[in-house]
Amino acid sequence: MSEEQFPGWHGTTIIAVRKKGEVVVAGDGQVSLGQTVIKGTARKVRRLSPGGHDVVAGFAGSTADAFTLLERLEAKLEATPGNLARASVELAKDWRTDKYLQKLEAMLIVTDGHVLLVITGAGDVLEPEHDIAAIGSGGNFALAAARALIDSDLGAEEIARRAMAIAADICVYTNGNLTVEKIGK
C-alpha cells in the first residue's frame, strides 16, 4: 500500500542523557495513525535484564518491529554477557543482512549505564557526541533542547524531562506522557 492509501504510524520521541555517571532514557507515549492519536500511554522505554546485566532500551518506529529487535538484542546480550557494544554490533549486522529483519522499521537507543548507543537498520551502531542521543519524530527538537541544557546544574533526568517537554510542544507526534528509566550511579 502507498503512503496515500495507508498513512502509516508516526511519532515518538526518545532521548537519552548521560551526566555524572547516570544515564536517563525517556520516551513519550503517543502513537498516531495519520492525523489521529490512537494511544497516548504507550511504553516505548524498557528495562532488559539478560544474564543479570541491566540494559535500558528506547525505540521509535513500528512497535512489533521494535519488540522483535529487543528480543534479538536480549539474545545477543545473553551470548555476550556484559558487552553491550558487541551485542549491538551483532544485532546491527543481522538487521542489515537478514532478509526478514531488513524489513523492520524501527530505531533503538540502548545503554547499560556505561555505553550509550543508537542502533539503526542501516547497520549503524553510533555512540553519540555530547552524551545525548535522540530518535523519532521529535528527536531533533529534544536533542537541541538537551544540548542547550547539558552544561547547566540540572541532572540527567531533569534535562531529559525538560527536553521532552520542549519536543512535545513542537512535534505533533509527541506527547508529554513520559516513561523514564535511569541506570547508573
Catalytic residues: 12
Residue type, 20: K
Instruction: Name the one residue in this structure whose C-alpha cell is 556484559.
Output: 82
Helix 139-149 and helix 156-170: axis angle, to 10°?
Answer: 140
What is the spatial distance between Cα 139 and Cα 119, in angstroms, rounded to a whole number? 14
Measured in whole angstroms, the distance separating CA 44 from the mean position of its chain's CA atoms is: 7
Q: Name residue 116's beta-bridge partners.
A: 111
Q: Where are the alpha helices (DSSP H) in 26-155?
A: 63-79, 84-97, 139-149
Q: Where are the alpha helices (DSSP H) in the chain?
A: 63-79, 84-97, 139-149, 156-170
What is the spatial distance between Cα 147 and Cα 155, in angstroms, rounded to a whole number? 13
Grid cell for residue 81: 554477557
